[in-house]
Structure 1
């Protein structure tokens, strides 16, 4: 399946859209250029014979201490009973005022709105073009991103002890 998807992307978008294929995992992962993500998502959703109509999950990955993050997309084609994993990697200096940015796929799959908000809230990945990117689990004024490996737990929140 991964070879067919790779060939589809190369034929329609170009070889530059694909960074590499990671085949050492239980399920192969197609690593993509962030700039091509939305175009590839529409291609995979709308192409007959593929029809990846369901985005089941988005996960953000922190490669601390490296200045690198990744966003992993788990797709499924319900009619064809196939699955596909995509990944986009982003270099970032880890500063809280300079979040890693990835294009939003909410225009392709509506479920991405919630998944992207969670990745933003907990890992600090900014999804450009998201229709309503704001915290979903933590209070709006929370400082930091708790799933980052370098996150330090706050001792208080508005004067209330957390520990």
Structure 2
């Protein structure tokens, strides 16, 4: 049976000690999505949303979220990020009135622990920000799924999601 690394000798939560881990370049790419209605799609693409440029605000929110992950996820270490990049892409099927924003967050660091949580947090924050900025035009938006697509670096090696 493997040792539970996030519990101390009293059975209470602890942040694991990464002092002796090797510093490596680490990356993680996560994705999320949000399904919106046609009105919201039009507002975003035509730049008519009353709160402003939806993707620009969501991009900044995602970057801020990646940088703040250790403040909201209790066992995450504060990590000096070396890069955060967010991409948005539309997946549209007009015949079924399906308007979906695909969100991809890529996070990089050179350090002793990975950035999977930072990438997942960034993708989630982007989707939540789109919801917040567009909720006046329809609250039936659906967020997700959110998932890790790839990660590199670290003692566990690389990971690529198999679909």
Larger CA Rg, structure 1 vs 2: 2
Q: Which has the higher contact order (CA 8 A, sep 6+)?
A: 2
**Structure 1 length as normaliser, TM-score?**
0.30
**Structure 2 length as normaliser, TM-score?**
0.30
